[in-house]
Amino acid sequence: MEDSRRDLKDENLNSLLPDVQVDRRGFVAACIAAGFAVTAEPILAQAIKTSMDGLDGGDAKVGDIPIYYAVPKGKGKRPVVIVVPEIWGMHEHIKDVTRRVAKAGYFAVTNEPYFRIGDLTKLEDIKQVLAGANQLTDAQAFEDIDKVVEWAGKNPRANVEKLGITGFCRGGRTVWMYTAHNKKVDAGVAWYGGLSPSLPGQPSTPMDVTDKIDRPVLGLYGGADQGIPLERVEMLRAGLKAFGNDKKSTIHVYEGMPHAFNADYRPSYRKEAAEDGWKRMLAWFKKNGVA
């Protein structure tokens, strides 16, 4: 009797599998078609969609580096803001953020950090995504952004004498690190930038370079971020203070907020915190000469 019940259960389960597989294939196809990373498990209907109305730009290349940029239509130079992607790279959400930054009056540009490694947006296993992203060394990431800044410096619509940088998750970590690397940066805004122990190609963490972060950076963190414990955020704050750099940089923690609270296409999105963070970002750039 027990075997019969087990057989019946297995038969019923198997009868459902084709529909489950079709649904999953459909979800994956929809994510790819919309330009979102599959393993981000996006809520496509929820994602904010910013149009190109009033903007110039689009996909381009700097040498072999894929980029996406947007700038308000018209003449004259605009301050430059570099937008650094999450671990999935330059997918649709990051392009949309780039358009939003442009609509705030900037020459906004992002680049695909992982193009030498592969298209991480199409991978269906988050472990594979992390393994791919972890192959990118800081040296290579910095070199690519340097080239993008150089390219922008030759664009008649961009003023790299006023240079800002913002990024999310892995890109938020890059904001701290790149600001320590490139003294041409006027201001940065790091959204929940990773503070984990170092990786082989990324031998330092933001806590290790607080002596070099002498440009104003605003760190935005979630108080309930399971991947970035508050004690690490406080270590970063203490490091900045130890070298006197807390007089320029500051950290704001949103109590009770999870990781990726600005990712409007994901379940982690928290509208109130995201909108407040966006206002803080624009005010920070204006306060520190990127306007």
Of the two residues 44 and 177, the one the predictor is more confident about is: 177
Task: Give me the catalytic one of 144, 169, 186, 264.
Answer: 169
Residue 197: which pLDDT band, with cuts at 50, 70 and 90? confident
Please state which of the four CATH numbers 3.40.50.1820, 3.50.50.60, 3.40.50.150, 3.40.1170.20 is assigned to the domain occupying 48-287.
3.40.50.1820
- Domain boundaries of the chain, sorted by first residue: 1-34, 48-287
Considering the entire predicted model, what is its pTM?
A: 0.91
| Segment 175-185, tens digit of pLDDT | 999 999 999 99
Examine the pLDDT at 20 and tell me if it is beyond 60: no
The pLDDT score that the predictor gives to residue 165 is 98
For residue 104, how many other CB atoms are within 10 A of its CB? Answer: 17
Catalytic residue among 96, 138, 186, 225: 225
User: Is-catalytic flag, 31?
Assistant: no
Residue 229 neighbours by CB under 8 Å, 6+ apart: none
125-174: pLDDT as tens digits: 999 999 999 999 999 999 999 999 999 999 999 999 999 999 999 999 99
Q: Is 225 a catalytic residue?
A: yes
* Residue 208 CB contacts under 8 Å (≥ 6 apart), including other chains: 198
Q: What is the mean pLDDT of residues 215-228?
A: 97
Please indicate whether residue 264 is annotated as part of the active site: no
Backbone angles phi, psi at 242, to 5 degrees: -60, -30
78-109 per-position pLDDT tens digit:
999 999 999 999 999 999 999 999 999 999 99
Residue 44 has pLDDT above 80, yes or no: yes
Q: Which of 96, 138, 259, 264 is catalytic?
A: 259
**What pLDDT, on a 0 to 100 scale, did the predictor assign at position 7?**
37
- What per-residue confidence (pLDDT) applies to 28? 93
Distance CA 129, CA 91 (A): 13
